């Protein structure tokens, strides 16, 4: 009797106008430049293509959404199921009066600079957030005293059945680095409210933010942005420094000496190295101060047996 062979995942996927790739290396599209492969990488052609894909996809297939890969750590074992990568097809930026409408794949930096070209203020802080609109919506990203919740009017998302939802900012349930929106929903666009301003004032704000970021953060290294959320009333970097973790290493993973709430890949760090280092930082901080740091970086994939989640 012939052994029963399960169909490959790619053979179970709906027909799509987008790009489908098996065993796609994800390290190339993450800022850490490390980690494993996606069982399937899917780049939708547009919102309609994504909606139809979701509508006809078998419900037991695991889905993961990636944007710029700036605030994620892909574990070495890779990611099972389908990784949806929202790329250039989700990157348009348009204007409606003083509102800016951006696709979920649009770079935060690009949105900020597009507003500057229109002499619109209020979104300068996005110039300091290395990610995409979709990721910024999901985690209520912020910088320099401003957050997405301060400027969002509404957003559009697709649920797992492919149905479109228009979500008012009032329904997001915003809090620090958090929203109440169903984590399975996929953001596809957002509308932000800006205000007219003098171009020189906008240029000055963005220049000051750029200088501050370059002088305080390891922006020229392989990093994933802020590693841990700030506990209530405290700064994560201060707790990490106080616990003696500045410059701590595991393999080629290192706690940045410039800003110790950043982990950096010195060149050949594995995802396991980075996660092990992060967990050691958490352990030392809790032992030193009693604070339990919560990961801000999104860790994706099956955890290594030597690390804890």
- Find tokens 């850490």 and name the residue: 32
Mark out the alpha helices in the chain (DSSP H runs).
47-56, 108-117, 133-139, 199-216, 236-242, 271-289
- Find tokens 């052994």 and name the residue: 3
Spot the catalytic one: 226, 256, 270, 272.
226
Angle at 66 between CA 60 and CA 72, to 5 degrees: 110
pLDDT in single tens digits along all 309 residues of the chain: 444 566 899 999 999 999 999 999 999 999 999 999 999 999 999 999 999 999 999 999 999 999 989 899 999 999 999 999 998 999 999 999 999 999 999 999 999 999 999 999 999 999 989 899 999 999 999 998 999 999 999 999 999 999 999 999 999 999 999 999 999 999 999 999 999 999 999 999 999 998 888 888 888 899 998 999 999 999 999 999 999 999 999 999 999 999 999 999 999 999 999 999 999 999 999 999 999 999 999 999 988 765 544
Q: Is 296 a catalytic residue?
A: yes
The topology (CATH level 3) of 89-201 is 3.30.465
The topology (CATH level 3) of 9-88 is 3.30.43
Q: Residue 107, class by beta-carbon neighbours within 10 Å (0-12 exposed, 13-18 middle, 19+ buried)?
A: buried
d(CA 140, CA 176): 7
Q: Where are the domains of the chain?
A: 9-88, 89-201, 218-300
Q: Is 118 a catalytic residue?
A: no
- Find tokens 């008012």 and name the residue: 168
The topology (CATH level 3) of 218-300 is 3.90.78
d(CA 259, CA 246): 8
**Which residues sit opposite 120 in a β-bridge?**
196
Q: Is 177 a catalytic residue?
A: yes
pTM > 0.75: yes
* 8 Å CB contact between 19 and 53: no
d(CA 309, CA 305): 10
Spot the catalytic one: 12, 146, 177, 283.
177
């Amino acid at each position: 009797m012939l052994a029963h062979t399960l169909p490959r995942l790619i053979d179970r996927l709906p027909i799509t106008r987008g790009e489908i790739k098996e065993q796609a290396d994800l390290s190339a599209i993450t800022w850490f430049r490390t980690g494993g492969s996606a069982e399937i990488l899917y780049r939708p052609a547009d919102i309609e293509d994504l909606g139809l894909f979701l509508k006809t996809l078998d419900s037991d297939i695991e889905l993961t959404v990636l944007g710029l890969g700036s605030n994620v750590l892909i574990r070495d074992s890779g990611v099972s199921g389908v990784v949806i990568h929202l790329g250039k097809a989700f990157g348009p930026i348009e204007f409606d009066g003083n509102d800016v409408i951006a696709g979920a794949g649009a770079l935060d930096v690009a949105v900020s600079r597009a507003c500057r070209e229109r002499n619109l203020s209020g979104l300068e802080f996005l110039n300091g957030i290395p990610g995409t609109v979709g990721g910024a919506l999901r985690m209520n990203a912020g910088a320099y005293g401003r957050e997405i919740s301060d400027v969002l009017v509404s957003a559009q998302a697709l649920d797992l059945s492919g149905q479109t939802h228009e979500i008012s900012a009032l329904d997001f349930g915003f809090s620090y680095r958090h929203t109440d929106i169903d984590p399975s929903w996929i953001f596809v666009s957002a509308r932000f409210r800006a205000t007219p301003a003098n171009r020189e004032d906008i240029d000055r704000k963005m220049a000051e933010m750029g200088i501050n970021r370059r002088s305080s953060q390891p922006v020229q290294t392989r990093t994933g942005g802020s590693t841990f959320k700030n506990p209530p009333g405290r700064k994560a970097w201060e707790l990490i420094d106080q616990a003696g973790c500045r410059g701590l290493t595991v393999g080629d993973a290192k706690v940045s000496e410039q800003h110790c709430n950043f982990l950096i890949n010195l060149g050949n760090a594995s995802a396991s190295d980075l996660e092990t280092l992060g967990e050691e930082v958490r352990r030392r901080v809790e032992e030193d101060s009693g604070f339990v740091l919560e990961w801000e970086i999104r860790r994706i994939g099956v955890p290594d047996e030597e690390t804890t989640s």
